[in-house]
Amino acid sequence: MWEKLANIDRRWLYALMIFVIALALIKPIGLAIVPSADTQKVYDIVEQLPPGSIVWMGMEFSAGGIPELMPAILSMIRQGWKDGRDLRFVCAGMWQMAGDMAEQAFSTVKAEFPDKEYGVDWVNIGYKPGGEVLLQQYQNSIIETAQGVDFYGNDLNTLPLMKEFTSLKQAKLVAIFCTGTPGEKEYIKHVTSPNNIPLIEAAISVSIPECMPLVQAGQIKGLVAGMKGAAEYEVLVGAPGSATAGMDAQSFSHALIIVFMILGNIGYVLTKNKKQAS
Amino acid sequence: MSIVTGYSFAFWVEILFLVAVIVMIRRARGGMKIPEIYKVAGLEAMDEAIGRCTEMGKPVHFSPGIGDLQNAQTLAAMSILGYVAKQCARYDTDLIATNRNVIVYPLSEEIVKQSFAEVGKLDNFKPDNVRWISDDQFAYATGVTGIMFREKPAANILVGAFWAESLIFAEVGSIAGAIQISGTANTHQIPFFVAACDYCLIGEELYAASAYLSKEPVLLASLVAQDWGKMVGVVLIVVGTVMASVGSNALGTLLSK
Amino acid sequence: MKKELPVAITLILAILYVLANYFTGVAFLDTAKNLLDRWYLIVAAWAVLVGSINLTQIHGRRISGKREGWIFSVWLLICLYGMMFFGIFVAKNASHPGWTFMYNQLIAPMNATVYSTIVFYIGSAAYRAFRVRSPEASVLLVTALIMMLGRVPLGRMLLGGHPALSQMADWILNVPNSAGMRGIQIGACLGGVATALRIALGIERGHLGGTGE
């Protein structure tokens, strides 16, 4: 029996995982989410921006990062637009889905802020080829680097926001949403360190250990850590959404893995002891 | 002409490092004794893994990661591919080399072909075994998963730049029953490889692989220069810690020049 | 010359590129760097053709030999050439509604699906790997338990609202993890620079199909 515990068929784990996650999403129990210091810092940085400040949003992720990063983006836009703060956002990215991600975010939030206008309050430049070279060239001229058009094919010269915001160096804050490379290191190297622009990041959980040295060095001013950080940000902004809903599922999936780990270790230890005894 | 702001220190360190590498290479060519490298389990296991495939009559699967040619990890993986291909050619073992990056793919094919030719077994080279799957990360992951389940390689060698697909490869390899040797310098994927693979080359061990496997004195000498660089790093850390503790930011200012 | 010419080209271009990264105000270097970046993109675009030919050859042989699963090879080629012809002759740019439909409704969800399978593989990898085989493995197990509970609200709930587990998880992230990450990254960066130098100087030629010198 103990050997069976140490060698449970992985398909049982997969089946239980589906069941546990589905149950938590269908019938959430609403575990309390307490904002951490890291997320609070991000919130405070955005909160302290003067009204009308221009924020560069780097959409450096693809579809796999949506569950962890999209809630953070939505929260940031809501925080930037509520209570008359009127922050303005320019979105671009080195990843192919940058434009689609920005489109998804703003089309979701726009309904809550009907007075906000494209081209005045936000611009979606989207993806342009070139990788990290783009970041250097955006500092010279955004319109030239973007080949004169935004994600929708509009002439950037006709957009009021882009008449004012001609270079990335003018951004008051750089907020990036990353799932890999190119990501924060490229922004630190080319944009924020040379120009002393504060950088905040929302990153997927897997990237958090790697980002911690950058946070401690002050190169990243604030970090929204994975889905938990996104849920905390939603709580701070007062608009619980998919991240908050996902935390129950994440909690119980972790619990399931822990149960299997404990069972596996019990089986391993008792099997080992039995073998040693015999 | 001037050095880009913030890059001066890095530039001079790189020059010093280049000088150190050249000095060590010249000394190695002059017959200097090279210190021994500690045993790297993952690299020692390469031959064992290939031997396992030969005995079982199953192929070796090799992936150089999903990075492009600008990534030093991919170049390091290419060196390892050359060694693995040679060993597979020697022992008449099939080698399936999958690629995600289109520019890396013709390089992989050429390396495998050259390696087979060098041991006189060019006739055994099968072009179909060096494959470009897809440029899309997860399409590549799916393709490799399919290969692992269909062709059931007895060894799965994953060395290079990996991202989110690393755990998919490692777990699927485990399900297929392959012995797994992995290696990456992407710190966010090392934990997955350590947990799921039998052997894992961590960080610089990947870059040392070509020197380690070939045992060439000139290549080993450059590893010594690398170690000198690390020692300088350690000294800077200690000095910087002491200086920061007494409230001085002089070293920080120097490093950011 | 078969090996010497690529090595010479690599050395010259490596010097140009490194100098262009470090020095500013030299028009020649900036031009050379921009040119090299553009050439790389052009070569990459043409390399897609080479890769497509390889895919077609491999799967064409599977179809003609009616090997196991050949019907999936048919489907692969239909998708490959279907999307290629649609993109070149119908859509012509990435903002065409049909093209964005295919990307957003087919490719993106499929990517997300495959990415999501990682949750299952993490579970089975954790179950297999985190065993008390040795003192180091035991430390790994305990750390994993703390991190998994500390990074979700469940940890706080289990301790009646006390943040002990999340505080321990934060400490692990900020102290031993950061120290380890820095060490590995410093070593990896030095290794990367050494590898690049070896390749630029032509000492390492494994990527050319040879072994060392």
**Domain range list for chain B:** 41-212, 216-257
> Average pLDDT in the B164-184 region?
95
**Which pLDDT band holds residue C205 (cuts at 50, 70, 90)?**
confident
Residue C55 in this model has a pLDDT that exceeds 80: yes
User: Given an 8 Å threshold on Cβ–Cβ distance, is C132 in contact with A265?
Assistant: yes
* Res. B2 pLDDT band, cuts 50 70 90: confident
Interface of C with A in 111-170 (CB under 8 A): 111-112, 115-116, 119-120, 122-124, 126-128, 130-133, 141, 144-145, 148-149, 151-154, 156-157, 161, 163, 166, 170
In a shared domain, residues C168 and C93: no
DSSP state of A149: B
Last residue of a domain, one of C115, C133, C152: C115
Cα distance between residue C156 and residue C151, in whole Å: 9
Domain annotation covers residue C206: no
Q: Is residue A10 part of a domain?
A: yes
Given CA atoms C155, C160, C166, C169 in this order, what sign does their dihedral have? negative
Q: How many CB atoms lie within 10 A of CB A29?
A: 10
- pLDDT per residue as tens digits for the range B199-212: 999 988 999 888 88
**pLDDT tens track for A208-249:** 999 999 999 999 999 999 999 999 999 999 999 999 999 999
Residues A139 and A260 in one domain: no
% of chain A at pLDDT higher than 90 = 81
Is the pLDDT score of B226 beyond 70? Answer: yes
What distance, in Å, lies between the first and last C-alpha atoms of chain B?
Answer: 16
From C95, C152, C156, residue closest to A250, measured CB to CB = C152
Q: Is residue A58 part of a domain?
A: yes
How much is the pTM?
0.87
Banded pLDDT at C10 (limits 50, 70, 90): confident
DSSP B131-175: EE--SSHHHHHHHHHHHHHHH--SEEEEEEE--TTHHHHHHHHHH
Q: What is the extent of the structural domain holding C32? A: 4-115
Min mean pLDDT across A147-156, A238-247, B239-248, C24-33 is at: C24-33
Q: What is the per-residue pLDDT across C76-90, written as a single tens digit (0 to 9) for each?
A: 999 999 999 999 999
Please state which CATH number belongs to domain B41-212: 3.40.50
Cross-chain Cβ contact B187/A10 below 8 Å: no
Q: What ipTM was reported for this prediction?
A: 0.83
Tell me: do C49 and C24 sit in the same domain: yes
Residue A32 lies in a domain: no
CA dist A254 and A233 (Å) reads 21
Q: C72 and C27 in one domain?
A: yes
How confident is the model at residue B70, as a pLDDT? Answer: 83
Of C115, C140, C164, the residue at which a domain comes to its end is: C115
Per-residue pLDDT at B73 exceeds 90: yes
Across the interface, do A209 and C173 touch by the CB < 8 Å criterion?
yes
What CATH number does residue A168 fall under?
A: 3.40.50
C16 and C104 together in one domain: yes
Q: What confidence tens digit (pLDDT) does each residue in A131-151 have?
A: 888 898 899 999 999 999 999
Structural domains in chain C (count): 2
Residue from B103, B188, B255 whose CB has the most chain A CBs within 10 Å, to mutate: B188
> Residue A245 domain-assigned?
no
Residue of chain C whose Cα is closest to the Cα of A132: C37
User: Is residue C76 one of the residues assigned to a domain?
Assistant: yes
Per-residue model confidence as pLDDT tens digits over B117-145: 999 999 999 988 999 998 889 999 999 99
3-state helix, strand and coil shares in percent for chain A, rounded to the nearest 5: 60, 15, 30
Omega before residue A182 within 30° of 0, cis: yes
C184 contacts on B by Cβ (under 8 Å):
185, 187, 190, 202-203
pLDDT of residue C213 exceeding 50, the answer is no
With CB atoms and an 8 Å threshold, state whether A64 touches B175.
no
pLDDT digits (tens, 9 = 90+) for B244-257: 899 988 888 888 77
Q: How far apart are CA A41 and CA A44, in angstroms?
A: 5
CA atoms within 13 A on the CB side of C153: 22
Distances (CA, A) of A188 to A201, A203, C83: 11, 15, 37
Final residue in a domain of this structure, among C115, C144, C178: C115
The answer to whether B164 faces chain A, any CB pair under 8 Å, is yes
List the single best residue of C3, C10, C22, C70 to mutate versus B (max B Cβ within 10 A): C22
**For chain A, what is the domain count?**
2
Q: C54 vs A225, which has greater pLDDT?
A: A225
Integer angstrom CA distances of residue C169 from A204, C164, C166: 16, 9, 5
